[in-house]
């Protein structure tokens, strides 16, 4: 499932809930979203990214996918 399909599926399931069920799910969903803070890069990680960009050490999405397929042939990629 891609992101749009997941969102649509969630919307449909939420839309079918009655009001008490919706209240319970809403509280749980907010708690879950608030429990996971966004990842913050360390100074070292930021410096490594900047150095790679300055030195042209970048790869396209397709290059990364191809390398991953070659390195992990038994994994299923979309």
pTM of the model: 0.42
Q: Let me know whether 7 and 30 are in one domain.
A: yes
In degrees, rounded to 5, the angle at the alpha carbon of residue 77 between the alpha carbons of residues 76 and 78 is 125
Residue 21 is part of which domain span?
Answer: 3-35
Q: What's the domain count of the chain?
A: 2
Q: What is the mean pLDDT of each run of 10 residues along the chain (78 residues)?
A: 91 93 90 87 96 92 92 85
In order of 9, 49, 61, 63, 76, the CA distances from 45 in angstroms are: 36, 6, 20, 22, 29
Closest CA to 17 of 29, 5, 4, 6: 29
Per the CB < 8 A criterion, the answer to whether 48 and 42 are in contact is no
Q: Let me know whether 59 and 29 are in one domain.
A: no
User: Which pLDDT score is estimated for 11?
Assistant: 92
User: Which pLDDT score is estimated for 17?
Assistant: 93
């Amino acid at each position: 499932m891609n992101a749009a399909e997941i969102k649509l599926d969630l919307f449909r399931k939420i839309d079918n809930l009655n009001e008490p069920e919706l209240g319970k799910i809403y509280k749980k969903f907010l708690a879950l979203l608030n429990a996971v803070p966004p990842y913050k890069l360390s100074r070292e990680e930021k410096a490594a990214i900047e150095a790679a960009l300055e030195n042209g050490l970048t790869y396209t999405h397709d290059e990364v996918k191809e390398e991953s397929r070659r390195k992990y042939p038994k994994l299923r990629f979309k």
